[in-house]
Structure 1
Amino acid sequence: KEGFLRSETSLIQTIGRAARNSEARVVLYADHITGSMERAMAETARRRARQEAHNKEFGFEPITVISGVKDVLEGVTSKAAQGLLPKGRDPNRRGRSSTLPGMEEAGADYIGKGHNLTRVIDSLEKEMREAAANLEFELAARLRDEVKKLRDTEIGLGIEAVLPPAD
């Protein structure tokens, strides 16, 4: 049967994804070989021959890239460090409140004399990154949720950041 994920293009993409591993094998299960499968296998063979010729000409030895968990985490934490955080709702949007029910209460513990919401958020973000670096993902997720709740509260209450963001 041919269709959405069985089309020539989809099969080529799937087979190509497996080709990122130097020892990869692709197994296609079917009652009979469809036209899409035949064309995808032919295209894959053509590309493989071309790549092998290129590798031989320039002396390349294909290897599989192996990324550790910490390498993946560094990419995630660097986005947070660059300030690519979720944005709050636009209070100017018609018919929508800038605060959700309970948001004022969420930050009530941190607002008042001697408290700086920005400082608390920065501290929690630091703890979150440390937890993720130590592979304590459940703790990191809870801290992430708390930071989001506080950021939403900060936006909803119209609190201006007092301190510049931490590095």
Structure 2
Amino acid sequence: EFGFRLPSAVDNRPLTFEEFDQHINQVVFVSATPAAYEIERSTQVVEQVIRPTGVLDPEVEIRPTQNQVDDLMEEVRLTIDKGQRVLVTTLTKKMAEDLADYLTEMGIKTHYLHSEVETLDRVEILRDLRLGIYDVVVGINLLREGIDLPEVSLVCILDADKEGYLRSNRSLVQTIGRAARHLEGRVIMYADQVTQSMQNAIDETYRRREIQRQYNEDHGIEAKGIFKAIRDITDHVRIAAEEKTEYDAGPEMPKDEMLRLVKELESQMKAASKALEFEKAAALRDQVVDLRRRMVGSDEEELSQFAAVAGRPGPIRYGRSQAGGRNRRRKYQK
């Protein structure tokens, strides 16, 4: 019943969602796109539709899927001629890659984006889109949430009438929102029929658009686009990796304590690397290197004693002699 744990440990675990739900009393849900769970359990919904910039939600147009790639390419060229950017959403990774390759062959600077692209590469691709290195990015559901690209004025949704997770009402609203930062924002849905999800997303978009338009008219607001600085977080990682971190262990630190500290820092460095905290990992690496240099001056007998105190078997060697040390020790023990 308790798996491999003792019955006494059954309470020392995180609560299940159902158990957590029983413990709460008053809750405030905060979301740009609340799901059915939040809506059904809310006695009051407070909307924040009005933008201080006055920018309206994008216009949405539905076009047939026949010759959709040719039509897409024509719209992309018209948008690029204005110095603006384009996002295209597909249903599969293969389609995203093939479409990106085709647009590239046609002379359009394009890149694809999906879950198999490494995290830092995704950041660089989106930064390059804003800089104009790419004019088009083709992706799947990664274009839905958390992407703020003021330069994007056109979002094209291929196979918009294919009902499913990627073409649900909530997903379509989020995808349409990627063009809501630009004064000339537009969305083109390629579909042969209008699904209920499409209709709901379009109705919601035009409802918000009308609210903003009326507010602008009542208060004399002229819509203005936003300017957002282009930052590259990978620069911070590279700088942290190249910088030498000064670390003073103290002249009076016993060498057995120094060895324990090295072990602890190595453990923290590996944990930071797995958690993608590259700046922290680089700083910890510099500290480990500095401490190892301090220990290189000790003779083999001292290091063996320190290793035993720190819980590590046999002599510890640093530098070139360290490579293969474990294998050699196993060989001698045999």
TM-score (norm 2): 0.25
Larger strand percent: 2
The structure with more helix, counted as a fraction of residues: 1
